[in-house]
Amino acid sequence: MLFLGLSILLSVLLLLNFRVFPRYEVNTFQAIVFNYPVCFLTGLLLLPAGQSFSIDFSQTWTWLAFGLGVGFILTFLLSGASTQRMGITATSLANNLSLVIPVCFSLFVFQTGGKTFDALNYLGLVLAVIAVGLSTYKKEPPVVDPDSSARPASRRLGAYVLLPVAVFLFYGATNTMINYMNLRYIPSADKTIQVTLTMVIGAIVAGLLMLTVRLIQGKETFQPRSLLGAVTLGIPNFLSFYTLVLALSAFGGNGAFVYPIYNIGVILLAAIMAALFFREQLSVANRIGLALAVLAIGLISWQELAQAF
């Protein structure tokens, strides 16, 4: 549980970074692109004594890791586009509800875990989905079409509706692939950083390529302040991912147990931090969702809690 708790804490720290970036005029896109080199350096410092990092292009997992790194960047871009076109609520729901994809794969495809799920565990999964939806729901003003400065865009059916769907699928797919690689290619903790660093390289290449294209097109101008944001983002980013992989290893690759608790834990802690430091108010639906989240965690993990106490 230690690694899972650390992953939740570090993930919330990432959200706090994004929350304060506008206050300090940090370019979020550039900070995300440059945070991956910081992630790589952080991983190098954590390599066990006597190990060195190398890339073996003959291994299947190397190419899977590269692809997963590219997926990280693409998911971020889709989230940004969905937020602009369809709003924060739809995007946030798509992101958090995506936990059902790795959970279902873990239960019904990978068939992993150190325990057999009973009725209470499955009820906890259902409540987790409901809790995520209620916890992240917020009323928001009509979306303004970025292509029109005069008229608000209606939430019409069309290509834009597919953006939250794409966010849902990409987040779910990346988390599922993380679980798959943990089961298939990371049999021991000493190999975790090697695989993680390879993923980071894929994200570095994809991110720098996209930034270069945007700079050439004139859509971006380099902002040195984003480098500072990359440091405050990159260190917890790598550590949150690293501890999540270690948590999966500690629970035998049981994504059906780890991912619901991770997602709900992030929501709970983020809500507490937002209320304490940013005075954000919770609606009745949000509070009901948070209460259901606590109940869902208890139902999903009641066997582990019973053993602990």
pLDDT tens, residue by residue, 109-143: 876 655 677 899 889 888 888 887 787 676 655 55
112 φ, ψ to 5°? Answer: -110, 175
- Residue found by looking up tokens 């097109």 in the block: 217
Q: Which helix (H) or strand (E) holds 52?
A: none
Model confidence pLDDT, tens digit, residues 67-92:
988 988 888 778 867 765 776 556 76
Predicted confidence at residue 151, as pLDDT, reads: 47
Binning the chain into helix, strand and coil, the percentages to the nearest 5 are 75, 0, 25
Instruction: Let me know if 98 is exposed, middle or buried by CB neighbors in 10 A (0-12, 13-18, 19+).
Output: buried
Q: Distance between CA 117 and CA 258 in Å, rounded?
A: 13
Residue 119: both structure tokens together: 């009725």
Predicted confidence at residue 178, as pLDDT, reads: 80
pLDDT higher at 162 or 188 = 162
Of 17, 15, 168, which is closest to residue 91 (Cα–Cα)? 168
Average pLDDT over residues 132-160: 58
Predicted confidence at residue 7, as pLDDT, reads: 92
pLDDT bin (cut points 50, 70, 90) of residue 157 is very low
**248, 102 Cβ separation under 8 angstroms:** no
Residue 309: both structure tokens together: 């106490």
Find the angle CA(2)-CA(178)-CA(247) to the nearest 5 degrees. 10
- pLDDT exceeds cutoff 80 at 205: yes
Average pLDDT over residues 279-308: 79
- pLDDT exceeds cutoff 50 at 154: no
Say what percent of the chain tops pLDDT 90. 15
Average pLDDT over residues 192-211: 87
Model confidence pLDDT, tens digit, residues 38-67:
999 998 888 877 778 888 788 788 888 899
What pTM does this model have?
Answer: 0.74
